[in-house]
């Protein structure tokens, strides 16, 4: 059956394969969020930890993020070296460990719940890399990655609304995450198996987007040295972006309550639907740009535009020009416009524009490791040094800082990568030899 489906997809028009890839990758990662984010629907009000220094929910959030961050660091090696035949096993194993940890979160006493939520995050950070590995390096990668990116924007809202609904049925805050994950488990299994039958990139994909293959340790270091300046600027911005995005995601219940929407039904789903639609509408047109250098410029335009939108939205809220709900949508669109390309189209186009043989997943995971370190740092900074500030006020002020510095650093980063892309341009004859070599290597990879 597996071989028949692959042959069918290879014979059909490219749109059929693209739809299959978007649907299965979207569903796979959407369901993953049911194992990662449902606990955020609880407020755990009136409970503190470490002698009252930190709110209990903050401790849970930080504990999971630490596990998730360590998973990102591990993914720099694991996700860039894993072979095609191993991906499905890794995906299923990650979810099995995460759901088991949610069971422990429900049954273990007191402090052990913190350890359980840490264990929950530990395998989940690598799921994104495994899923992206199926999609990168294709002529339609922008569409496929845009569809995948919408999954976690929408899932974050839907999962928290499902969690709140389960709480309304009388399930406790500690059992609710396990029950939510269990409900989504069958769909995850089905979608992951169907994603795994997706054919590898064909010869035309390789010629345009460069061969994507597992990277050795030396190749990873060479990548970092080659793009030291541009990559370091991207890392600083992503440090702030991930912290900003995670704060909005983890404390959305508290932010909406401060804005006067605490009892609004399905408020997360309604908000994140428009956020996802806005991000999708900007990412999909990138697939129409065949020139990789122009596409790279366009991606950076989205990053800068997203940072600007966050700052402008804050100004409009404080001036009373927009409602709190509209503001949450706009800062969501702005934050995700700057955040989402890191995990999808930015490095896919960068690898293609600079003719770097390897995988975009490596660069994605370097950024993710640094980014989630930033998220942990922001959570601690808020509770330890800005305890008197409301989460809403803190979030707005941090948005201003991220907006201004993000624009400056992104411009510096683009100039460095644009220079590397110009140097990578080769005469047509050289490119022909390169494409042939890539095609041969691709055939060897498929045989492997």
288-323 pLDDT tens trace: 888 888 988 999 999 999 999 999 999 999 999 999
Note the pLDDT of residue 79.
80
Instruction: Say what the pTM is.
Output: 0.69
Q: At what angle do helices 14-36 and 87-107 cross, to 10 degrees?
A: 20
Note the pLDDT of residue 315.
96
Note the pLDDT of residue 89.
92
Note the pLDDT of residue 28.
95
* Phi, psi angle pair for 48, to nearest 5°: -130, 170
Structural domain including 391 reads 10-198+207-447
Domains identified in the chain, total number: 1
Q: Which of 101, 370, 98, 359 is nearest to 231 (CA)?
A: 370
51-84 pLDDT tens trace: 556 677 778 888 888 898 888 888 888 887 778 7
110-120 pLDDT tens trace: 788 899 999 99
Q: How far apart are CA 376 and CA 386, in angstroms?
A: 15
DSSP 259-298: HT-TT-TTHHHHHHHHHHHHHHHHHGGGGG---HHHHHHH
Query: Is the residue at 3 inside a domain?
Result: no
Query: Is the residue at 4 inside a domain?
Result: no
Element (H, E) at 23: helix 14-36
Q: Confirm if 40 and 117 have CB atoms less than 8 A apart.
A: no
Residue spans of the chain under pLDDT 70: 1, 43, 45-54, 205-215, 262-265, 344, 357-359, 425-448
Sequence-separated (6 or more) residues with CB below 8 Å from residue 94:
123, 124, 126, 127, 130
Query: Is the residue at 248 inside a domain?
Result: yes
- Taking only Cα atoms into account, the Rg of the chain, rounded to an integer number of angstroms, comes to 21
Q: How far apart are CA 364 and CA 63, in angstroms?
A: 22
* Phi, psi angle pair for 215, to nearest 5°: -105, 140
Query: Is the residue at 310 inside a domain?
Result: yes
Note the pLDDT of residue 193.
93
Query: Is the residue at 5 inside a domain?
Result: no
Q: How far apart are CA 368 and CA 234, in angstroms?
A: 11
Note the pLDDT of residue 440.
40
Query: Is the residue at 1 inside a domain?
Result: no
Domain containing residue 90: CATH number? 1.20.1250.20
């Amino acid at each position: 059956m597996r071989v028949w489906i692959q042959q069918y997809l290879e014979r059909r028009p490219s749109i059929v394969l693209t739809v299959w890839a978007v649907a299965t990758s979207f569903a796979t990662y959407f369901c993953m969020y049911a194992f990662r984010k449902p606990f955020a629907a609880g407020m755990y009000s009136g409970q503190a930890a470490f002698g009252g220094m930190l709110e209990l929910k903050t401790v849970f959030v930080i504990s999971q993020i630490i596990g998730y961050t360590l998973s990102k660091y591990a993914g720099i090696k694991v996700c860039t070296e894993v072979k095609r035949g191993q991906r499905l096993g890794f995906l299923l194993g990650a979810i099995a460990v995460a759901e088991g940890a949610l069971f422990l979160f429900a049954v273990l006493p007191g402090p052990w719940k913190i350890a359980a939520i840490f264990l929950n995050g530990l395998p989940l950070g690598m799921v994104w890399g495994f899923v992206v590995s199926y999609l990168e390096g294709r002529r339609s990668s922008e569409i496929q990655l845009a569809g995948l990116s919408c999954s976690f924007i929408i899932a974050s809202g839907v999962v928290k609304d499902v969690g709140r609904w389960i709480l309304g049925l009388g399930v406790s805050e500690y059992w609710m995450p396990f029950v939510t994950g269990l409900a989504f488990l069958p769909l995850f299994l089905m979608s992951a198996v169907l994603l795994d039958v997706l054919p590898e990139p064909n010869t035309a994909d390789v010629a345009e987007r460069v061969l994507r293959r597992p990277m050795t340790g030396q190749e990873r270091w060479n990548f970092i040295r080659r793009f030291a300046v541009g990559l370091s600027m991207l890392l600083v911005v992503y440090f702030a972006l991930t912290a900003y995005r995670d704060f909005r995601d983890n404390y959305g219940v508290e932010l909406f309550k401060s804005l006067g929407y605490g009892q609004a039904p399905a408020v997360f789903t309604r908000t994140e639907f428009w956020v996802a639609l806005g991000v999708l509408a900007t990412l999909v047109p990138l697939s129409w740009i065949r020139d990789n250098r122009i596409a790279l410029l366009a991606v950076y335009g989205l990053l800068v535009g997203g940072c600007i939108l966050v700052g402008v939205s804050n100004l409009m809220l404080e001036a009373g020009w927009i409602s709190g709900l509209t503001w949450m949508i706009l800062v969501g669109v702005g934050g995700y416009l700057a955040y989402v390309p890191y995990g999808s189209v930015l490095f896919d186009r960068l690898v293609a524009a600079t003719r770097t043989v390897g995988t975009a997943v490596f660069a994605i995971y370097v950024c993710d490791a640094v980014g989630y370190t930033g998220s942990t740092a922001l959570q601690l900074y808020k509770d330890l040094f800005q305890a008197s500030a409301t989460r809403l006020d803190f979030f707005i002020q941090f948005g201003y800082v991220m907006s201004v510095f993000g624009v400056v650093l992104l411009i510096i980063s683009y100039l460095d990568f644009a220079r590397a892309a110009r140097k990578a341009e080769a005469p047509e004859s050289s490119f022909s030899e390169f494409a042939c070599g890539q095609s041969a290597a691709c055939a060897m990879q498929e045989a492997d």
